[in-house]
Structure 1
Amino acid sequence: MRLSLTFLPAMSSLGAEMARFWSLQDGSVRAAVTGMVMLGICCGLLGCFIVLRRMSLVGDSLGHAVLPGLCAGFLVTWTKNPFWLFAGALGAALLAGGLIATIQRGSRLKPDVAMGLVLSGFFGTGLVLLSRIQSDPRGGQGGLNQFFFGQAAALGDADLLLIGIVTIVVLGCVLALFKQWAVFAFDEGFAQSLGIPVRRLHYLLMLLTAMSIVISIQAVGVVLLSALLITPAATALLLTDRLPRMLGLAVLVAIVGGLAGLNLSALSGEVLVEGWESVRNSSGRIGISLPPLRVATGLPTGPAVVLVLSTLFLGAWTFAPRYGLLQKWLRRIRQRWAQTLPPEGG
């Protein structure tokens, strides 16, 4: 038995496939691109404040905590109604955030322990509910398993409406409260001494983060959605020290990574497996052809987006003009070279 693999789309048609994708003739492609751009704006802006506030684990905890809320929203109508799913997931995220804060204030446990407890408890509850839904005839075909790794092509008009509303709210809050949030993000004590309502800003940031996480689930999935919040901001932080520039770079990285990952997911097509078998009988060798087999190998949107964003981060980490590994290595070499030179006038 011999097998030969031919990847589809072939290199000759790859350019045509990309041109067809970016022509936006397909309605599902237009919806996915529109949604990814809005998510890039929303998550890019909020991610900067989350990273500066050292709240990266909070985003991951809330991302995993929304699963039971999604299941509860699905159980209301036994359909993937975006508004019920949004309400259930947002409620679960807010409840998880409240529990994390309560555990921190009411015990000796550190924040990372509280977030780990809430993350595992909520995610485990969600898996139990999901297994019950999948075992029911009404929920077996509900498609909730798509929320694990995301499927941007499934974004509908109602999903885009919710994403657009949340993006406008986030953009408005950042523009209106930029000065307060800038001080709050870098020095909470100094912000409090200036009379800035630190606690309100913190709760507002948590609320907006929860809303952004909920609207991102359909596109990038529960498991990997924290990367859409953290990776663009971390990449931008390596490239600049100025907050306005960091916000712009984070949004740009999030949009580019999202669209490139979406394109990668759309172009990861099928594998054609052609087989033939040779047998020998009394008259000699006879070739027996086997029918070709097509195997789908399409990447889910979430892993594809995270793969591109991680590549962009590694590029910034290596080649950043001030904080990159290459620049640090060159600076260390120059310092050693300067130490070996004889002093002037010696």
Structure 2
Amino acid sequence: MQAKLLEIIWGGGQSENYQSPQHQESEGYIFHILSNALSQECQDKLQTLQKQLSLTYPCEIHIHFVDESAFVGVPKWGFEKEQNYCAYYRLILSQYIPQDVAKCLYLDVDMLVLCDVRELFAIDLGECIAGVNEAYPANNILRDESFILESTSAHKDSVGFDIGKAHIPYYFCSGLMLLNMPLYRANNIESQCLAFLKAYVPLCADQDALNVALNGKIKILPPEYGLAMHFLCHLDNNKLSQDYTKDYFEILPLTKIAHYNACAKPWKSPKEHITSHNKLVFFHPYYKQWWDIALQTPLFAQELKGIQKAHKDYIAIGLALMYFACKVIIKIIVPKKMLDCMKTILLCCYSK
């Protein structure tokens, strides 16, 4: 019987016991980790992790070090101060997935898998190159025209890409993609994306490139796969209708894969949320489930326990509340630079 190996880039999670129609020994997960640098200690831990996880369900962990020369001429990207090429790695994953693999599931690292991912691999993509979704209930509200910005080419009319809402009616989130690998290669998606990034300055670099290259070649997946938790940081957005908010909260309990994008990250402390996204966040859907699974991770449990302790540091929480209270009270009369200075002082006091 031919082995049924599920190729997963980056992804992870925990699934309940699942009675597959095929024999257990004919199945398995193959996790591909694309990185520019991993310490030898981390590599050794991942190989030991593979052995321990295989006692529960067959799996392999493959580590690939990416040659970033493919991104020459493409600007580094990221919302953080120190930008890099890491977000572009998903564009060239076809270089690391074996040629005989039919499907590959790409997951961002900030995902929590609450279902058996084999149900995703069972989806028939037909002639579509990718199975994707918006990460929200179907809408055209949250997407701004600026998602794909103007061309930087001197000959913008001859670049050859159709951009904007008029040409790309459905804009998907690239955090979860079920890829038809033969068609991904045959349609030269990798080279199309790199060409786009050399000609345009997009807001969400790799995601915009993939939306352009895959336009009209996607299968829309149900929103519970990769539902964005970031939505909960924007409940005060007056663009959101009551109906849309109602739809979101109806889907939330049915979530199969949670996407903790932007500020909504259960592993971050209040102090870290202020530093990275200037948000005070105390609540995350599936917070308990994320930590229950994280603390069961072989070899990494002790490190994760250390991270969890920061969530119970009431000094950090108190400083965070103090900063936000001051921000609300004196926002009108205090210049932004002075407020930023207060934030820095509070964070420095905590770190000492």
- TM-score normalised by L of structure 2: 0.22
Give the structure with the higher percent helix: 1
Q: Greater Rg, structure 1 or structure 2?
A: 1
Higher relative contact order, chain-length normalized (CA < 8 Å, sep 6+): 1
* TM-score, structure 1 normalization: 0.23
